[in-house]
Amino acid sequence: MPTLRVIYYSADRDAASWVPGLQAALPGASVQLWEPGAPPADYAVVWKPPQQLLDEQTQLKALFNTGAGVDALMNLRLPVGVPLIRLDDAGMSVQMAEYVCHAIIRYFREFEGYAVDMGHGQWSFRKPRSRLDFPVGILGLGVLGERVAKAVAQFDFPVNGWSQSPKSIAGVQSFHGAAQLGSFLAASRFLVCLLPLTPDTENLLNADRLAQLRPGGYVINVARGAHVVDADLIAALDRGHLAGATLDVFRVEPLPSEHPFWVHPKITLTPHTSARTLRSESIAQIAFKIGALVRGDAVAGCVDPVRGY
Ligand code: NDP
Ligand code: OXD
């Protein structure tokens, strides 16, 4: 049997450790860093590849994305009939649950205010808030959204979830489809975005939608920057309809130094780190799936090119 050929390319992820890692996980294969003109491979493992890679590699049996979101690939001309397989959790859902619970609890329990008070030598209490006044709405109940919804429900917050299809998740009120988005927003005060970026979800969080959230709303965006209309978010914060936002993702990354988010007093920022791609978990998942495909078995995480996620 000819040696299986695997190529790896990443616009910003460490090839020096991924290539040997993939090679160790696929001992019978030949794993190479992709370069223009590289010989044809059977499988490509990529993050934000150039169009040239896809155009040149005409014999691929599958394309693996080393992230959960495939929006960057969806902007390219993809090889027809070649399965596109994304990361399916691979250690990201627990990180996402930590990040979102932390952001919610930090705001709900007013820990930032306490830190300021204590920094001024002030021993003072704030009135306890009721969780019932802070229902959490999660946009997207997929691999990450479901784990986050369950984690938030563990803290006894009322939890609403919005997805394309209806869901049945203990402790989560399910809303689905465009027709139920308004009722979902009106029932939520925290709003967590965990949607894939597609033509249907781009700019979803605009002035109209943000205005439908309960007054004193709080937005947590951990999906993609283009889900949010930046100027509309700032306007909703400035007029007081929203109380704050925690943002991990941005239209342009790194966030340009002149962007108003940097200095907005109601916005907390992190540098696209809410759920990192974990190298060893991801390599193990991809190697397992390559083995399954070679045997002719089905694998999870195949992207539907029509839905775009
Ligand atoms: P999934 O594909 O598993 O889940 C997507 C969810 O969104 C599904 O519940 C789906 O509904 C729902 N959805 C999609 N389109 C619509 C729509 N038009 N209307 C309503 N619901 C919709 O993705 P993951 O949970 O694995 O990842 C979600 C996103 O998180 C990724 O696409 C990526 O952009 C982002 N991400 C961010 C990271 C970070 O570090 N900030 C790290 C990893 C991912 P249904 O279930 O009915 O199909
Ligand atoms: C992902 C990401 O989509 O890192 O996995 O954002």
Q: Name the average pLDDT for the chain.
A: 97
The tens digit of pLDDT for each residue in 18-32 reads: 999 999 999 999 999
Mean pLDDT within 270-289: 98
Distance CA 236, CA 206 (A): 10
List the beta strands (DSSP E) in 62-144: 62-65, 84-85, 136-139
The amino acid occupying position 81 is G
Q: Among 277, 278, 281, 303, which residue has the most ligand 2 atoms within 8 Å of its CB, making it the best to mutate?
A: 277
Cβ partners under 8 Å of residue 77, min gap 6:
51, 54, 55
Residue pLDDT, tens place only, 154-180: 999 999 999 999 999 999 999 999 999
- Residue 204 CA: nearest ligand 1 atom is 18
Is the model's pLDDT at 1 over the cut of 80? no
pLDDT band at 218 (very low <50, low <70, confident <90, very high): very high
Q: Quote the DSSP letter at residue 203.
A: T
Q: What whole-number distance in Å separates Cα of residue 188 and Cα of residue 183?
A: 9
Instruction: Give the residue carrying structure tokens 């693996």.
Output: 64
Name which CATH class applies to 5-90+278-295: alpha beta
Q: Per-residue confidence at 151, pLDDT binned at 50, 70, 90?
A: very high
125 Cα: distance to centroid of ligand 2 (angstroms)? 39
Instruction: Give domain limits for the chain.
Output: 5-90+278-295, 93-269
Q: How far from each other are the two terminal CA atoms of the chain, in whole angstroms?
A: 34
**Residue 32 Cα, ligand 1 centroid: separation in angstroms?**
31
Q: Of all residues in the chain, what percent carry a pLDDT higher than 70?
A: 99
Taking CA atoms only, the protein residue closest to ligand 1 atom 19 is 164
Measured CA to CA, the distance from residue 221 to residue 204 in angstroms comes to 12
Check whether 255 has a pLDDT greater than 80: yes
Nearest CA to ligand 2 atom 2: 67
Separation of CA 40 and ligand 1 centre (Å): 32
Ligand nearest to the CA of 281: 2
Point out the catalytic residue in the list 224, 251, 264, 295.
Answer: 224
Strand pairing category for 267-269 and 172-176? unpaired
Is 102 a residue of the active site?
no
Ligand 2 centre distance from Cα of residue 68 (Å): 5
- pLDDT tens digits, 37-80: 999 999 999 999 999 999 999 999 999 999 999 999 999 999 99
Question: Of all residues in the chain, what percent carry a pLDDT higher than 90?
Answer: 97
Question: Does the beta carbon of 89 sit less than 6 angstroms from any atom of ligand 1?
Answer: no
> pLDDT tens digit string along 125-140?
999 999 999 999 999 9
d(CA 99, CA 77): 34
Of ligand 2's listed atoms, the one at least distance from the Cα of 276 is 4
* Catalytic annotation present for 224: yes
Tell me which fold the domain 93-269 belongs to: Rossmann fold (3.40.50)
C-alpha 123/C-alpha 110 separation (Å) is 14
281 in helix, strand or coil? Answer: helix
For residue 220, report the phi and psi dihedrals to the nearest 5 degrees.
Answer: -125, 110
Q: In this predicted structure, what is the pLDDT of residue 15?
A: 79
| Separation between Cα atoms, residue 260 and residue 267, nearest integer Å | 10
How many residues are present in the chain? Answer: 309
Please say if the pLDDT value at position 181 is more than 80.
yes
Token pair for 271: 């540098």
Quick one: pLDDT at residue 2?
A: 80
Smallest CA-to-CA distance from 85 within 306, 273, 293 is with 293
Same fold, 5-90+278-295 and 93-269: yes
> Ligand 2 pocket: which residues have CB below 6 Å?
67-69, 87, 277
CA 14 to chain centre: 20
Per the CB < 8 A criterion, the answer to whether 75 and 44 are in contact is no
Cα(245) to centroid(ligand 1), Å: 20
Q: How confident is the model at residue 14 (pLDDT cuts 50, 70, 90)?
A: confident
